Structure 1
């Protein structure tokens, strides 16, 4: 291999993986995301066992979303004026501390001595803290990517990064169900902490990166406004973020999966883990395919069609009372969402200048990532008001409505190609 791995074969689907620091990045990303997904699965199942109340589970999402949304814009300013590698390393260490706290909270002796209410509200508090951490880790993770590979291979790197994220999600969701069933909460959280340690070790081997912020003495509020102005003036980027935000907000089913698993499909922790992993398995499969056979044209129109298909698959899941059909509906929803992830992620990377990556990523994080948790809350409230099944069908129908509106209101996105 030559000194320049990109020059060897710039069209290779493995071109970005040949870069050492990018390999370390995806190792870090894999183990960190797997740990985060395991935490989400374990905490959701624990809350279901504690309360059997959809609102109690909904408040897990709200606990994480509130600090993530409040701090999102400021965190972008911090990321842009900071060494992203060091900042990301600190957030991973803080996740390790949060996992240690959850290990203690979910111990049987803690529940016996302190009571179920203590366990419930202690979980809310720790998840609130992870929301604060994630407000900084998300933009740092996204913005450092462009510093690890040449711009010419960014689309390839985005696809590999998305594949890594989804592979970790699959293993995190599914293995958490198995681990809780066989080794309990304590054993599961010990493994989570091991994964976080591996992630921190890989990231530590990446060299510190130069700070690209062009005005480091800029006032924080002015810096935030500059990032917002850029997003709102870049139509393709704004439209892609808006479409995905509403699709995730209304089409998310994760919060209700414990109830479908336990009360409708009558499967235990293992079946719950596989249902949680189904969407990510679909996403991983399609993104692996896109790594070797990337979309060549009309990516904007494809994005609208796949989000519509996502809404239909969510409606199918809501109507199903057969485990295999429910699993396949979630699998299809994930496959369609995987295409959306690649298209939107590529638009984000290609349309963002280096000196604004933290702020633009933070706006994206506020609209997209936090909509997962707000959608988690919305699903719980809707389930309480409408019932479990009608709330999921309603969410899928609203996703279809969003796509219809965006088809007519966002012609720039519909015609976009890269």
Structure 2
């Protein structure tokens, strides 16, 4: 899993905020992090970025800004190669090369202006960049400084502002949409000294169709604000498998072998499913015996409810494991003239038998009379002329 993030932390000169960025990089295992509204002067960028990103590579749009750097991007050079395609005071267009699987995605980091008229330049740049991206995967994330939908404002609104309309028109023209998301809905919190503040969703992670086609399991996560008034926006992208060259049959065999290690790791993580079920069953027996002696103990009731959930989940995992094991056994020995093959046929024949049936007249037929009931039913219309409704309300 590769994780990319943007965070409007509103100033990066303070050591506390630098520490918080390092913490979010560590907690979320980030490989790329964009800091918005950094307020860092060009002469201090090297010192601040070394403190925040350590051994990472970094770049910024400081040369395009009048009052401090607006966007700083740092990345792990062991994971990515990053090329800046275009930058302005409101956006940085990047090309990200994944070293593991040699894939390329286009990524745009946005920190939109506060005034909707000034944002029109950003919408123009994004729309023009769509032509350069073409049918390649493209994601856009950052602070758009504008709500997109009516529900993006906690106070509610009965009208669409000019800024919202222009933002929506830009998103539609780029054919972008929100990546599947979790976490907080409102990404910006107005924090007044007194009273209730306004909440808005103005930070987003957008993607195009080629991106979700290439990475269907990608997800956007919006974390709590912490010391900022904006959410950290994190995009998690599953890593593609290792590249395998050769004829198709060799590729299939090789990729199946590559699955052994992650499957073994998964098995080790899950532990012995059968022993887990047995242990939880025994614990459930004990707690229920204690409840029988002390029926009004709420703590015991709560513990029993938790154990019951864990037991049912473990039992379901065990059932799925046994079903999968049964499929493996069938693939291994199913087509052989063995006792297992004949036993499986007997079971299938048993379940496929119809020993009792009720015809359309309500008459019940059992055992040897069942075939005659079917023959009698179909003789009523097979070979007859005209349109006949095939209806046979039977109870098996």
Answer yes or no: same fold by TM over 0.5.
Answer: no
Q: Give the TM-score of the pair, scaled to structure 2.
A: 0.19
Higher relative contact order (CA 8 A, sep 6+): 1
From the CA coordinates, give the structure whose radius of gyration is larger.
2
Q: Give the TM-score of the pair, scaled to structure 1.
A: 0.18
| Greater strand content | 2
